[in-house]
């Protein structure tokens, strides 16, 4: 273990060996990394009895957020917890799973079999092994953001004996909906977010149409070699799920073109900024496993977001540009064409198709067990969350015994970060029945 200091904090790198397949504990092993964080004034003998809180990041495919000092919710957490920022398997400093490393697994079929062990069920089993090693068997608190909340809900379904408290922010999943149902609920919500953006920034209607029209007529390459197609441009709408996302999108669009000897062209600065939003190089599992997190044992996901999009023709860029309607952005959807346009995903194209065809996914949640839950649970449900359907979350909230729900439109999906200590403080108070 290596320990070091940041302002107000002492951090310790921890590495854990876990089975790739928990059904075969003596088989292949992988490494999971966690960053232990404790307040500086509690790092000595006085802090040895601090209870543990493990943070599960959103995604899939993102390592735990890297803080510098007691930022956002972390400052509130270290007042009473020893925090473990866990890089879920395949992410961050854990054994990586990327276009560079996955060929070591062999063929695309072998890669797909390997990645089938990277859903919430395996992540929770990792957590249970790590908990027993760290706490000596004591229960711990889980804070799950977005997909981390999906993992926390699976945790409640399968290993509640390891949990002292569960706190979920923007990540209470449907217990029953498959990927088709998730996206069928998502596209109307995505449309509302686009319309709200144009209501705030009406000048962006023409800007977005002009950019999309240019992309229809020109092959535009991003600095990393990726292709910026009209569909890829529309996916900038993923920004609209954050508290300042509409403002970020507006600033991105406002100076897209520059004059050149060959006529107006998209500027290098614009393309660089677009690439920063759209590239999956730093989190390829987000694309490769995105629909698998919704697989509930009822057949393949079969590129659900792409199939369901066809039911909403207003998102067709070419048809929109043939008329005079505003161009609709899209959100947290992954499509087969992502594996053509993004250089970080192209080598994983066949692997992704095999995962989309996979039929042996198991259900992730146990409604019967959740109905008799005894673990204190509190969740923040962000009203009209771009990424997680509010109606689905509230239906699940009613299905988990004893769960306390805070529904708010003060924040978007990133409330636990953007809200500083307030969101965590509120959830702790709810879970403790203090409000």
Of 357, 374, 404, the residue that ends a domain is 357
At residue 45 the predicted structure's pLDDT band, cuts being 50, 70 and 90, is low
Of 357, 376, 394, the residue that ends a domain is 357
Please check the confidence at residue 47 and state whether its pLDDT lies above 90: no
Per-residue CA distances from 43 to 51, 77, 79, 260 (Å): 13, 14, 11, 59
At residue 12 the predicted structure's pLDDT band, cuts being 50, 70 and 90, is very high
User: Each residue of 365-386: pLDDT tens digit?
Assistant: 999 999 999 999 999 999 999 9
Q: Which residues contact 23 (CB under 8 A, 6 or more apart)?
A: none
Per-residue CA distances from 147 to 88, 161, 170, 292 (Å): 11, 21, 8, 12
Can you tell me the mean pLDDT for 399-414?
96
Please check the confidence at residue 213 and state whether its pLDDT lies above 90: yes
Residue 90 is classified by DSSP as B
**Is there a single domain that holds both residue 65 and residue 20?**
yes
**Is there a single domain that holds both residue 149 and residue 237?**
no
The pTM score is: 0.96
Per-residue CA distances from 317 to 36, 194, 208, 287, 335 (Å): 46, 14, 11, 22, 15
Active site (annotated) includes residue 383: no
**Is there a single domain that holds both residue 378 and residue 271?**
no
Nearest CA-CA partner of 154 in 127, 185, 182? 127
Please check the confidence at residue 46 and state whether its pLDDT lies above 70: no
**Is there a single domain that holds both residue 346 and residue 416?**
no
- The answer to whether 166 and 141 are in contact (CB under 8 A) is yes
User: Each residue of 160-183: pLDDT tens digit?
Assistant: 999 999 999 999 999 999 999 999
Dist CA 89 CA 97 (whole Å): 8
**Is there a single domain that holds both residue 309 and residue 379?**
no
**Is there a single domain that holds both residue 132 and residue 207?**
no
**Is there a single domain that holds both residue 347 and residue 203?**
yes
**Is there a single domain that holds both residue 10 and residue 78?**
yes
Of 357, 392, 421, the residue that ends a domain is 357
Question: Which of the following is catalytic: 87, 335, 413, 414?
Answer: 413
Assign residue 78 the CATH number of its domain: 3.40.50.1820
User: Each residue of 228-274: pLDDT tens digit?
Assistant: 999 999 999 999 999 999 999 999 999 999 999 999 999 999 999 99
**Is there a single domain that holds both residue 192 and residue 335?**
yes
**Is there a single domain that holds both residue 416 and residue 348?**
no
The total number of structural domains in the chain stands at 2
Mean pLDDT of all residues in the chain? 96
Active site (annotated) includes residue 413: yes
The whole-number pLDDT of residue 220 equals 98
**Is there a single domain that holds both residue 61 and residue 108?**
yes
Active site (annotated) includes residue 393: no
The domain of 168 spans 2-175+365-431
**Is there a single domain that holds both residue 340 and residue 410?**
no
Question: Per residue in 330-342, is it b (16+ CB within 10 Å) or e — as a string?
Answer: bbbbbbebbbebb
Question: Which of the following is catalytic: 122, 146, 235, 279?
Answer: 146
């Amino acid at each position: 273990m290596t320990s070091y200091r940041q302002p107000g904090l002492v951090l310790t790198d921890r590495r854990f060996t876990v089975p790739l397949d928990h059904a075969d504990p003596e088989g292949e092993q992988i490494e999971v990394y966690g960053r232990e964080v404790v307040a500086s004034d509690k790092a000595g003998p006085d802090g040895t009895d601090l209870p543990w809180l493990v943070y599960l990041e959103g995604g899939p495919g993102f390592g735990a957020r890297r803080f510098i000092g007691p930022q956002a919710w972390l400052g509130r957490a270290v007042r009473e917890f020893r925090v473990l920022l866990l890089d879920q398997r395949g992410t961050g400093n854990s054994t990586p799973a990327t276009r560079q490393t996955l060929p070591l697994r062999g063929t695309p079929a072998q890669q797909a079999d390997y990645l089938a062990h990277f859903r919430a069920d395996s992540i929770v089993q990792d957590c249970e092994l790590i908990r027993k090693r760290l706490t000596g068997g004591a229960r711990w608190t889980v804070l799950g953001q977005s997909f981390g909340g999906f993992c926390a809900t699976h945790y409640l379904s399968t290993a509640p004996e390891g949990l002292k408290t569960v706190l979920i922010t923007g990540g209470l999943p449907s217990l029953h909906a498959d990927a088709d149902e998730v996206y069928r609920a998502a596209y109307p919500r995505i449309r509302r977010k686009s319309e709200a953006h144009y209501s705030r920034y009406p000048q962006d209607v023409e800007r977005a149409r002009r950019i999309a029209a240019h992309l229809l007529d020109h092959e535009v390459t991003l600095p990393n070699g990726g292709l910026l197609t009209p569909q890829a441009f529309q996916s900038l709408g993923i920004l609209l799920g954050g508290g300042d996302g509409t403002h970020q999108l507006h600033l991105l669009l406002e100076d897209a073109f520059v004059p050149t000897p060959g006529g107006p062209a998209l500027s290098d600065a614009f393309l660089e900024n677009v690439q920063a939003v759209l590239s999956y190089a730093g989190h390829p599992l987000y694309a490769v496993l995105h629909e698998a997190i919704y697989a509930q044992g009822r057949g393949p996901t079969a590129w659900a977001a792409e199939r369901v999009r066809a039911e909403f023709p207003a998102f067709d860029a070419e048809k929109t540009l043939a008329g005079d309607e505003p161009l609709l952005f899209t959100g947290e959807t992954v499509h087969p064409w992502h594996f053509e346009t993004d250089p970080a995903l192209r080598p994983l194209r066949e692997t992704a198709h095999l995962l989309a065809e996979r039929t042996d996914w198991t259900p992730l949640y146990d409604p019967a067990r959740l109905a008799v839950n005894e673990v204190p649970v509190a969740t923040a449900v962000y009203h009209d969350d771009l990424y997680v359907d509010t109606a689905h979350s509230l239906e699940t909230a009613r299905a988990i015994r004893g769960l306390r729900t805070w529904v708010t439109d003060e924040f978007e999906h990133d409330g636990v970060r953007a809200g500083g200590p307030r969101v965590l403080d509120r959830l702790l108070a709810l879970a403790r029945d203090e409000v």
